[in-house]
Amino acid sequence: MIVKFLGILDVLAATILLFGTHAPKTIMMYVAVYLIVKGLLFSFTGDFISIVDVVIGLYAILIKSGHSWAALTLLFSLFLYQKGLFSFI
């Protein structure tokens, strides 16, 4: 149950990340905090994917500070989409 809930949140985070330059700053900060906290919680298990969550969370902060790269945004969004969708399998 928790895996599916986190999957839904990952898909939502990917969608907000895609529209990051147009999303309100507070919503983007919620996404960043969610990804960083979730990544740090699960990275203690040695999971590399959780470390990528932390990197994406830090990148979300960079987006709102005016540093956005289209290729990275697309790559990170696709990563979160596939991770979220695989949680339903």
CA angle 80, 34, 9 (to 5 degrees): 50
Give 3-state DSSP helix, strand, coil % of the chain, rounded to 5.
80, 0, 20
Asked if 13 and 80 touch (Cβ cutoff 8 Å), the reply is: yes
Q: Is 90 exceeded by the pLDDT of residue 37?
A: yes
Q: Average pLDDT, stretch 25-50?
A: 92
pLDDT in tens, 45-83: 888 899 999 999 999 999 988 888 999 999 999 999 999
Q: Average pLDDT, stretch 3-32?
A: 92
pLDDT attached to residue 86: 95
Q: What is the value of pTM for the model shown? A: 0.91
Q: Average pLDDT, stretch 4-21?
A: 93
pLDDT attached to residue 66: 85
